Chain A
Amino acid sequence: MERGKGQLYAYLTIAPSFAFILFLTVIPVAGALLATFRNSAGKWTLVVYSAMFRTPGMLADIWFTVEVTIVSCFVVMLISVVLSVYLRFNQGILVRLLENLYYLPIFIPSVIASYGIRTVYEQHGLLNLLLVNLGIHAYPHIIYTGIAIVIAQIWFHVPFTTLILLAALQGIPYGMIESARDIGASQFIILVRIILPQIRYVGLFAFTLVFLGCFGGYTVPYILGPNSPQMLGVVVSQTMIDYLDIKQASAISVVMFFLCSFVALFYVRNIMARQRS
């Protein structure tokens, strides 16, 4: 009796969030997914997908998205690991200053930050003006290229990644590092053999988040990216709003989901391996 009541209470508690996910995510997604496999007469077909892959520029767009995302992930991870290790194992004014500044980008809306990045890096932007005043006249094109997107991903993802890596690094006892140092391990060996393995799973989690955030992004590539090839987030939005082709937009989203699910799978497998060990 008591147990039945408890169970009912438990179901009632999760009912709102369950309904939320069911009606706002599961049903619409399933509807869109099924629609992409049907033609206008309701027959099952792959016509939407074959039309999508035959759209001029679509393969270039997919490749460009994957390329920019992977480059962004590695650059973001590299900077975050270096920054968090530096902040964790050093002291001084610079460290304290950085500790208070590095997470500021989290509070700046993405549209504003994107325009800010444009103002700094464009042809008549702050950076070029600075270089010209120093006598350097070989400023490359940055805005409206994939590089601008990578720069923006650094701005958006380094703060949060550093934050969670730093939290993981707090768990490494100083004693461990000191005893390694006592037996003659170099700084590099300590980093590679002791510190990095300890933050491996958190790092993997961060990598997944950066990948998903970058892969499906819309604002950043729309404001800073090239006209062609485009990142898939922009392609979906344009297909839906400008070409009014909802089925094809859903089909591109399915492809995006498919590509992202590889990263998710990789993440889940690693987590399971960790639980087993």
Chain B
Amino acid sequence: MKKNMLMIVVVVLTSCSFLLTGCGNARNSQNSSSSNPTQINLYASGDTNIQQLWDTVIIPAFEHQYPDIKVNDVFLTHKQGQEAVLVKLKAATEAGKSSDVDLYEGDPGDVALGGTVPIWLKLSPSDISNLSSVQKGLAGPVSGYAAPYRASSIVLAYNATTVPNPPRTFNELIRWISSHPGRFTYNDPSAGGSGRAFVVEALYKYDYPVPVNGYDKNIESKWAQGFQLLKSLNADIYQKGVYPTGNQDILNLLGNGDIDMAPVWSDMALSALQKGTLPSNIKLIQITPGFVGGGSYLFVPSMSVHKAEAYKFINFVLSPTTQALIVMKINGYPAINWSQLPSDLQSKFAGISGEYRYWPGQYNSDLIKMWQQVVPG
């Protein structure tokens, strides 16, 4: 309950700060004459590593190349307050009024917002030339209403000292878990995406298609087999069925040798390896069919008054140079094809850059609930 209260307080405070930033921006745009640089507002969101990526890497590089445009990053840490921005955008679109949001960072779930009136602009390579080099799999879920700019996926981490031949497919992985009791675990799916990806993999094993858009509760009745498979693994999981509460907890268990294998976030694990918090005998591979992955997307609201500048910004972010910077800074995947990146980066990611799958987020809460009721204990 304490956590909830805290969340409410944070949301209220952040919303208040939007109100203030909103006022500030309005005044700025009125005062700005043609000699001053045009200011565009980017509503980015994510963890602090993403904030640093925008504020210390991408935006300075962009402003250096385009001195006549200034980018103001309104950062929503952990997406707190995102709801308020979307409500504001929706209201502006319905009323036909301009909005101070020129760029918005979100995920495919945001496309459908706004109902009959599309609140986002459809982007095309004729406006943003680098859009043509974006990976097809990433572009798919947003059908042109946003541009992916980075991605990451879940990969399999294993201890190369104790596991010389890691499993390459999901079925091999299941067999490995059963023959090495206590040496594998994944986190509670409510507490992080890496554990959720393993659950999704089990559901996909029985080949039930999950629609990318919309929400149909009936398809969930077909998940029973997958959950039964996970339940049957219980006795072979770390400490006979312990599912730690967090992505980081899994990395800790791998690091101190309590387990030999686990699904992990590609970017988290690579950063941990770089910092040395994960020892170098931990290796990463992608299995086939791949674990879940996905991108982060840039949207342009249809009521933005700085469309041309926003397009320039997206084009800059999707250039091979900026994409390489993103890959190096946060160990994420590029949104453009790997072949356009420097060869040393390509070889660094060679083991894990394989295909990953998309999982529609609107099924998450049902997945978490069913897992909790069926699998542990």
Q: Which residues of A contact B (CB under 8 A)?
A: 55-57, 60, 122-124, 141, 144, 216, 218-219, 222-223, 226-229, 233, 236-238, 240-244
The distance in angstroms between the C-alpha atoms of A244 and B362, with both chains bound, is: 12
Partner of B258 from the list A55, A124, A219, A233 (CB cut-off 8 Å) is: A124
Residues on the A chain within 8 Å of B365, using CB: 242-244
A222 CA / B249 CA spacing, docked (Å): 13
Contact A57 B4 (CB under 8 A): no
B369 CB contacts on chain A under 8 angstroms:
242-243
Contact B377 A238 (CB under 8 A): no
Residues of A within 8 A of B243 (CB): 227
Note all chain B residues with C-beta closer than 8 A to A123.
239, 258
Choose among B2, B376, B377 the residue with the greatest number of A CB atoms under 10 Å from its CB.
B377
Residues of A contacting B: mostly: loop
Partner of A240, one of B4, B239, B368, B376: B4
Interface size class of B (residues with CB under 8 A): 20 to 34
Of the candidates A56, A228, A237, the one having the most CB atoms from chain B within 10 angstroms of its own CB is A228
Within the complex, which residue of A141, A219, A229, A238 is in contact with B190, where a contact is CB–CB below 8 Å? A238
Tell me if A218 and B1 are in contact (CB < 8 A). yes
Partner of B377, one of A227, A233, A240: A227
In the complex, A208→B223 CA distance in Å? 44
CA distance A240 to B368 in the complex (A): 12
Question: Beyond A124-B258, A141-B239, is A222–B245 a contact (Cβ under 8 Å)?
Answer: yes
Which listed residue, A56, A216, A233, A236, touches B373 by the CB 8 Å rule?
Answer: A56
List 26 A–B pairs whose Cβ atoms lie within 8 Å, in order of A's numbering: A56-B374, A57-B373, A57-B377, A60-B377, A124-B258, A141-B239, A144-B239, A144-B242, A144-B244, A216-B1, A222-B245, A226-B242, A226-B376, A226-B377, A227-B376, A228-B372, A229-B377, A233-B1, A236-B1, A237-B4, A238-B372, A241-B3, A241-B4, A242-B365, A243-B366, A243-B369
- Assembly CA distance A57 to B371 (angstroms): 12
Whether A237 contacts B3 by the Cβ 8 Å rule is yes
Residues of B within 8 A of A144 (CB): 239, 242, 244
Q: Are A228 and B376 in contact, CB atoms less than 8 angstroms apart?
A: yes
Query: Shortest Cβ distance from A23 into chain B, in angstroms?
Result: 14
Within 8 A of A (CB), among B352-371: 365-366, 368-369
Cβ of B241 under 8 Å from chain A: yes
Output the nearest chain A residue to B242 by Cβ-Cβ distance: A144
The smallest beta-carbon distance between B365 and chain A, in angstroms, is 5
Q: What is the distance, in angstroms, from A111's C-beta to the closest C-beta of chain B?
A: 10
Measured CB to CB, the closest approach of chain A to B236, in angstroms, equals 15
Please give the distance in Å from B52's CB to the nearest CB on chain A: 24
> What chain A residues lie within 8 Å of B132 (beta carbons)?
none
Contact with A along B252-267 (1 / 0, CB 8 A): 0000111000000000
Chain B residues whose CB sits within 8 angstroms of the CB of A226 once the complex forms: 242, 376-377
Contact with A along B226-244 (1 / 0, CB 8 A): 0000000000000101111
In the bound assembly, the distance between CA atoms of A156 and B229 in angstroms comes to 39
A251 CB to closest chain B CB (Å) equals 15
In the complex the two chains form, what is the Cα distance from A94 to B1 in whole Å?
40
In the complex, whether B188 has a CB less than 8 A from a CB of chain A is: yes
C-alpha gap A131/B258 in the complex (Å): 17
- Specify the chain B residue showing the minimal Cβ separation from A144: B242
- Report the minimal beta-carbon distance from B173 to chain A, rounded to whole angstroms: 20
CB-CB nearest 7 A-B residue pairs: A228-B377, A227-B376, A228-B376, A124-B256, A56-B373, A144-B242, A243-B369
> Closest residue of chain A to B255, judged by CB?
A124
How far in angstroms is the closest Cβ of chain B from A67?
15
Minimum C-beta distance from B80 to chain A (A): 13
In the bound assembly, the distance between CA atoms of A56 and B245 in angstroms comes to 21
Q: How far is the CA of A213 from the CA of B26 in the complex (A)?
A: 49
What's the minimum C-beta distance from A28 to chain B, rounded to whole angstroms?
Answer: 11
- A242 near B258 (CB under 8 angstroms)? no
Which chain B residues border A236 with CB–CB below 8 Å? 1
B242, A227: Cβ atoms closer than 8 Å: yes
Beta-carbon nearest neighbor of A24 in chain B? B5
Looking at the assembled complex, report how far the CB atom of A184 sits from the nearest CB atom of chain B, in whole angstroms: 53
For A233, list chain B residues within 8 Å (CB).
1
Q: Which residue of B lies closest to A239 (CB)?
A: B369
Chain B residues positioned under 8 Å from A141 (CB to CB):
239
Q: In the bound complex, do residue A242 and residue B377 qualify as a contact, i.e. CB atoms below 8 Å apart? A: no
A57 touches B372 (CB 8 A): yes
New A-B contacts (18) at CB < 8 Å, excluding given A60-B377, A219-B2: A56-B373, A57-B372, A124-B257, A144-B244, A227-B242, A227-B243, A228-B372, A228-B377, A236-B1, A237-B4, A238-B190, A238-B368, A242-B190, A242-B365, A242-B368, A243-B366, A243-B369, A244-B365
Once the chains are docked, how many angstroms separate the CA of A238 from the CA of B189?
Answer: 11
A216 to B3 Cα, complex, angstroms: 13
- Is B3's CB under 8 angstroms from A218's CB? yes
Closest to B240 in A: A141
Residues of B212-229 contacting chain A, CB below 8 A: none
- The answer, among B1, B2, B188, B257, for a CB contact under 8 Å with A227, is B188
* In the complex, chain A residues whose CB is within 8 Å of the CB of B373: 55-57
Query: Which residues of A sit under 8 angstroms from B366, Cβ to Cβ?
Result: 243
State whether A237 touches B1 (Cβ < 8 A). Answer: yes
- Say yes or no: A227 contacts B241, CB within 8 Å: yes
Interface string of B52-90 (1 = CB under 8 A from A): 000000000000000000000000000000000000000
